[in-house]
Amino acid sequence: MRIAHISDFHLPTEAGQRVKGALPDANLIEAVSVLKRQVPGPDLVVLGGDLLDEGQKGNYETIAELFRELQVPIHPVVGNHDDLKALKNSSLLDKERRASGYGSFDHEGLHVILLNTGGTGKSYGNIEEQQLFWLSEDLYRNHGKPVMIFMHHHPIDSGIPWLDKMKLQNADAFWEIVPPYSQNILGVFFAHLHIQLTTVVRGVPVASPPAVCFQFSGNNEAAKAELSDEQPGFNLIDVHNLGAGAPGAGTPGTGGQGTDAGTVRLRSVRLRTVRFAPAVGSTPASGSGEQTRQRAEPSSAGHAAEKKS
């Protein structure tokens, strides 16, 4: 099974507007085009949040139409730049299951949990008590299944102080709930950092994809937002041997035997052509007022994380 995790489009209110020098519309169109050319194609797509730069003003239907061409289920996660009310007015959000912006579903043996960390009205994230309670119950009810958890904000320290002020504020509460189920959790996937990151926390692989718009630098000395010239992109999450072990025999937290969750391989696909605003004093590309940059390197950089329980 292949899941595309694609995030942080930051589409502007007016098409063609630049956001921090990038042209998010052009990047998103190219990202969807590159995604469509992947073999095998994704079985489902998770949009990691910050789909619009100003969610309350925008129209999510444009994004729904763009991804509809993939003809696979599309599931959005709510970011701090998003607006739940506007998302509900689009065909992107399953309103019956996710009126509150969070929920879960099964897809061919995989249990997918989508959390809403973006309701604070600030750049940092939070999971309110009712949602934490729901998460705990949902994990318990589905403890025999392989699970993936998606959210927008990072529930870990990235090591970059200005970015970590914007992390999931109650990450401790999240990590109190998850570890008893770590045998069955294939990964916790977030975005928000605009930096590709992969690590393991308490036995659980965690990862963020590159953003589709602009990338932040990983300079931990930087006092505030500093951009990098890395290419935009997205992650492909491949799951092999899904739930290959004995079916849900154990009770989490009691030392019982759990299920083999499967093996996860992550690959970041980077866009080859990206449009940036010209640097001050540089000569714009003829006629377009923009600078098109092409790279000769391969369009993907791999990183594998394995989870076998």
Q: Would you tell me which residues interact with Fe ion (CB under 5 A)? A: 8, 50
Residue 10 C-beta: closest distance to Fe ion, Å: 6
DSSP string computed for 96-107: TT-TTS-EEEEE
Task: Give the residue with the Cβ less far from Fe ion, 110 or 213.
Answer: 213
Task: Give the residue with the Cβ less far from Fe ion, 62 or 142.
Answer: 62
Residue 148 C-beta: closest distance to Fe ion, Å: 21
Task: Give the residue with the Cβ less far from Fe ion, 8 or 83.
Answer: 8
- Residues 6 or more apart whose CB falls under 8 angstroms from that of 31 comprise 6, 212, 232, 233, 234, 271
Residue 303 C-beta: closest distance to Fe ion, Å: 21
Cross-sheet strand order for the sheet of 147-150 = 103-107, 110-114, 147-150, 185-189, 204-208, 197-201
Residue 50 C-beta: closest distance to Fe ion, Å: 3
Task: Give the residue with the Cβ less far from Fe ion, 8 or 230.
Answer: 8
Structural tokens at position 76: 């959005």
Strand 147-150 and strand 110-114: the pairing is parallel
What torsion do the CA atoms of 294, 47, 11, 269 make, to the nearest 10 degrees? Answer: 0
Residue 29 C-beta: closest distance to Fe ion, Å: 18
Residue 118 C-beta: closest distance to Fe ion, Å: 10
Closest CA to 269 of 239, 298, 238: 298
Task: Give the residue with the Cβ less far from Fe ion, 10 or 307.
Answer: 10
Task: Give the residue with the Cβ less far from Fe ion, 53 or 138.
Answer: 53
